[in-house]
Structures are given as structure tokens and as C-alpha cells.
Structure 1
Amino acid sequence: MRLTRLIVRDVRSVEAVDWRPVAGVNVLVGPNGGGKTSMLEAIHLAVAGRSFRTRDTAQVIRRGASGLRVGAWFELDDGRRAHIRMERDAAGTRLRRDGEVVRSASQLARAFPVLVLSQDGVRRFRTERAERRGVMDWGVFHVKPEFHAVWSRYHAALAQRNAALRRGQPVEPWLGPLAEAGGAMSAYREGYLSRLQEHVTAVESEFGFSGPLKIELQRGWREGVELDAYWRQSESRDRRLGYTGGGPHRANLSLGYGNGIGLEQCSSGQVKIAYLTFRLAQLRELLTARPDVEPMVFFDDLTAELDGDHLAGILGGLVRQPLQRFVTSPVLTADLNEHADAVFHVKHGAITTATN
């Protein structure tokens, strides 16, 4: 899969851009706030129907504009072409693929996977349980097509139980569907992380990262207790809270090193390496489980945060993958210039091709 053309209208600081990226490593350089990340955000809007920076797509619309539009043209792995059009305004979000209305953004996202590695992602990965859970579920979603349906059933039943708790109504009717879907969700996650540990070890070896990084699923409810029994035991507490306090929706991805140091005790540099190790392991698992797909990789605003050896190793490793990659940086470093297939300058929401 390769993005061949991107037309952007009114995405953050970008008013109007028509851009043709290349097949390999696309390096976008320019001052902070100039629009580099906004270009990546526009790609993500097209293939996932949402931003990777905020849950509220309305925040992405350029100030003073009534809405945003993104058009993305792709050359697919089998030689076919695809055109995706995304619009967002006061009437909502609309997606079309080759002129046909897209009813489910999740189907589009699975067909056009994007791995986002970003400095903001590192920060949230360290501090937010929901971010770590979302990163884990991104991986499960892309290798297990049935996971999304299970996830949706669980959250639909969870919303019904929470409504019953708030209204003082019986919650027993929701225990069966909730426990069935919740147990399946947790099993998918456990199986995924078990497979991922092998890839973590491989990434540490390939890129020279310190380790060993250990990953573990904290299920979100008390160990040794079945889900339906757990929710029956916690019903009084949940009624006081007005929502379901425990379950797979409260799961946590726990990471730490063999010497007992958890993510919360790690230095900023160690957290960045743990984040990159986990996410690059996810890329390996995706390529192993779905050899028919070629995901795009975003490497956003991380070059200044890594020392020369780690940066060179990661860039070299990404170059060895036959994937389209997008790297943003305030300056064009020697390492970036060495590995770039094309360099673009981005400033004041405009993009121009530089001589590499």
C-alpha cells in the first residue's frame, strides 16, 4: 500500500495543500507549528476517520473554516488503486471510498493500517492507562478481525449496565452478554501479548535496545474470580459509583524490565525506548500475521529525543522494511538525510520539495 497523492483543505494550520509523497522514506522538516504533524494527521483522518492527536475531530478544523476535507489516493499491493475522501463539518463526518459511502470507519482503518510513533504518544503511554490499553487494542484489532465485534458488543452491554446502575434498575440481564464478550476480549489480549513477547526480544536485538522488557496484561478485575461473579460481588459498590468500576474496560498494559523496574520508575529515555520497543514489536507481529498488508509508519517528532546510535538504528531498521514511512523533524540531520528518499520543507501550512 502506498499513498501517492494527498489533498488537504483546512486541517489545523494547513489551508490548501496538494502533495505527492514517494514510496519510501518521506522526511518532513520545518519549524514547530509549521504543519508537519498536520500533514500526517490528514493522512490518518482519511484512513481512520479520526485524528491520532485528539478524540474531537472538530478541534482539527482550521480556525475560521466551516469544515475540513481530505482526499487520499493509494496504490494498493495488488496493483489496484483506491481513492478515499473524508469530510468533517457541523453536519458530522463523512467518508467515501471510490465514491461509495463508508459505513464503518473501523473497516477502512483495518484495510489501511497506520502505525503512529510520536513524542506525544510517548508521554501518554507513560502516564495514561487508557493510552496503553488503546495501543494494545490497536494491535489486537489489526491481527484479529473478530476482535472489533467483540469489543463493540462488550461496550454496548457495558453502557446498558451503567444506565441500569444509575437508574436503580436490575443489572442481572446484562451480566451474561457482558461476561461473554468481556472474557473473549481478555483472551484475545492475553494471546496477543504472549505472541508479542517474542517480537519484543527480536526488536531489542535488532536495534540494540536495553532489555529485557517484560509485558503483562492486568485484566481489570480481581484475579481468580470469574467476570460474572466479580460483577455480582461489586454490584453495591458500582451502584454507589453509578458505573461499572472494574472489568476488561479497566485493563492495563504493564511494562517493566527484568530487574523489577516498572514504567513509572523509568527515566524519560527508558520510557521512550520501552515505547518504541513495544510499538516496533507490534509492527513485526502485524507483518507476520498479515503478510498481505503494508502499513504506513509515522515517526513524528521523535528524532530530537533519541541519541545518534538509537536514531540511526531505528531509521536503518525502518528502511529495511518495504513500507512507506513519514518522518517529521525540525531540522534535517545527517542521519535523516542519509535515509530519506525524499525531503519536504513544511512552513506556514505549505509544503515544498527539497533537494535531497
Structure 2
Amino acid sequence: MANIASISVTNFRNLTGIDCEFSPGFNLLTGENGAGKTSLLEAIYFLGNLKSFRSQTHHDLIAQNQACAVVRASVSAENASFFMAVERCKERVRLKVDLEDIQSAGAFVAHLPVLSLHAQSDDLILGGPEFRRKFLDRTAFYLFPEFATIFSQFSRVLKQRNAALKNGQSTLAWDGLFIQYSTLLTEQRLAALDYIAAILPGVLLSLSPYLLLQVEYHQGFRAQGSLADSLARHAARERELGQTLSGPHRADLILSVNGFGVKSTASRGQIKIILLALYLSVAGVWRDVSNKNAILLFDDFISELDNRHASLLWDFLSHFGHQAFFSATDRNPLAHPFDAKFSLSAGKITSML
């Protein structure tokens, strides 16, 4: 089981200098608001994603009046241990695994899958289709070695086709490639969704036995025809707007619970349970199919569950076998036996257990 054995964080938000060792089991971060709990979880997330779960710009991650933020970690895996480091400066980023400089972001994050549930996680359900596409694409990234190349080629061809449309040029030179990579991308997304669908009912049954979640993939054009037919049908409108109107870049996951759309009918509590089920299903798929154990982060998330569902989640996680990090304020403690506890105050950390 992969886990973060220790971490060092320098000039990352309000964390000026943190060094600590973690348990491979459940780790609890406590402290008042603004103490640095979320920042530490964000640093872990950044190590596995090279982006933040609460900011769109990396400038926000660098401490005030500092040139760079640095996150280093020692990772223990089943057969080997290794060292990861990311230095994020305002104009550049440097990545290292052990002593090797890594040039590709994809090659770097492939070493450490990290999943996070936080205040913005509701976007997966309540936000636009782009959030659900990213969710499915990230699932596929850790399942299929060729996915990153397919996605990159699709994005390149889409950009070129859109440029031709904006310039009033013919798209014939790009249509064949666009259909080719659209087909490959759709096949991998559907394969990833099949893996999720196989494990999701069991996960949901453990978390909330009365919820029945259905997940369907909308491929970005009418199911009755082909992508080529859709491109031909919308050709005039595409020239008018200067953009491609059909394809995987307009795909979506359609979520329904007990036969009704999740967005319009699910309660806030049900949305939290559905999010948990989806993310934990992805973690289970990565583990079972790709032998990759994701690090799980819960940023003040469990406190939003009622006692019954929180108890069901603890029971599930206790048998799941993944390293997990939880944050909670001192005023709203989590009632669970943790393997390690840490107190944060003014960006400093102290081990309590």
C-alpha cells in the first residue's frame, strides 16, 4: 500500500516550515480556522496533482514575499520507497523523483494518486459538464497508460480544427483525425466508467443502502447518429460560431438517484454520500485494476454527515486499506480512534499521538 511516510513543506501558503511523519493509516489534523489544516492537505494534493483544489492560480500557493513554495515527501510503496519533490515558483516549476528531474507533469503525478473531498467537491454534481469530464479523465489516466497521449492528441486536433473554423477555413484536413481521436478518447472514458459501474453499487450499499445511483455517459452528440453526421449537421453553425459543437469536449456524465436527476432532487446530505461513493469507487478501481493506492484527503468533510452515515463511512474506510487524512476544528472534533493526530497553529504542526 502506497503512503506518505513523511512530508516537508516550505513557504506554501501560511506553512513556512513544516516537517512531520505520518501514519500509513488514519491521520487527523486539528486546529482553529486559519491554523493551516487545509493548507497542509492542499500541499499533499498539490504533490499528487500539481494544482490546488481551491485556487486556479499557482501564485496563491506561494507564501507572501517568497519566491517559491516547496513540497517534499518520502513515499513508501509495497515494493519500494521513493522521494518526491515539487518546487513551484512564480514563473517555473521543478519536479524531482529521487535524484531525477522529471520534465513531464503526467510522469510526475503518476507516482502518487491523491483524491480529495472538500468544500468545492460539490462541483462534480452541481457544476458544469467540465467537472464531470475531468473526473472521468483523471480516472482513466491512472488506468490506461496510453490515455495521456490520446487526450493530448485529441486536444491538439480540436484546437487546430477550432482555429480553422475561426479563420473561415475548411476543416477537412482535421475532420478525420478529430473523429479518430474522439473515438479513442470515448472508448477509454467508457472503459473507465465500466470499471466504476462495477464497484459503485457495492460502495454505495455500504454507505447508504437506500440510494440507487445511475451514471450514464453522454458522448457529446446525438446517440442516434455518428460523430461525422453531427459534424455535418452543425457545419454552418460551427462556421458561424468558430468552434466545434460536437465531440468528447462536450460530453457529460448524467447522474440520477432512484430514477431522478441528482441536481434537482438530491438533498445536501445525499449529495455528500454520492460524492463519497464516486470517489471511493475510483480509489477502489485504481487499486484493483492498476495496483495504485490513492491517498485520501477529507477537508472538514465528515463533519457534514449525520452520525449514522459517518459511522458507516468509518466502517467502510477501516476495511478499505488506504492512507487517509482528515481535518477538523477543535470545536467540532471527529469521534474516531486515529492512528496519528496533529495539532496546527499559525502554520506550525505538533504531533499529539
TM-score (norm 2): 0.94
* Matching residue of 2:344: 346
Provide, for residues 309-343 of structure 1, a one-character-per-residue CA deviation record: whole Å limited to 9, x for no partner. 11121122112122211111123767x34331011
In 2, distance between residues paired with 1:12 and 1:204? 36
* Matching residue of 2:326: 327
Answer whether contact 2:123 2:131 (CA < 8 A) is retained: no
* Matching residue of 1:316: 315
Shift of 1:44: 2.3
Shift of 1:265: 2.5
Answer whether contact 1:30 1:347 (CA < 8 A) is retained: yes
SS in 1 for 2:110: helix
In 2, distance between residues paired with 1:221 and 1:63? 46
* Matching residue of 1:128: 128
* Matching residue of 1:170: 170
AA of the residue aligned to 1:64? N
Q: 1:77 to 1:45 in 2, by over 3 A?
A: same
* Matching residue of 2:213: 213
* Matching residue of 1:141: 141
CA RMSD of aligned residues (A): 1.8
Shift of 1:95: 0.6
Question: Please, which runs of 5 or more residues in structure 2 have no aligned partner?
Answer: none
* Matching residue of 1:284: 284
Q: 1:2 to 1:194 in 2, by over 3 A?
A: closer
* Matching residue of 1:76: 77
In 2, distance between residues paired with 1:209 and 1:118? 23
* Matching residue of 1:179: 179
Shift of 1:197: 2.0
* Matching residue of 2:200: 200
SS in 2 for 1:39: helix
Q: How many residues align?
A: 352
In 2, distance between residues paired with 1:160 and 1:276? 38
Question: Please, which runs of 5 or more residues in structure 1 have no aligned partner?
Answer: none
In 1, distance between residues paired with 2:120 and 2:90? 28
In 2, distance between residues paired with 1:209 and 1:57? 41
Between 153-162 and 141-150, report the one with greater CA deviation. Answer: 141-150
Using the aligned pairs only, state the percent identity.
28
Provide, for residues 210-264 of structure 1, a one-character-per-residue CA deviation record: whole Å limited to 9, x for no partner. 3210011111112222223322322221222222233101111111123324333
AA of the residue aligned to 1:37? T
TM-score (norm 1): 0.93
SS in 1 for 2:336: helix
Shift of 1:162: 1.1
Answer whether contact 1:28 1:327 (CA < 8 A) is retained: yes
In 1, distance between residues paired with 2:31 and 2:159? 44
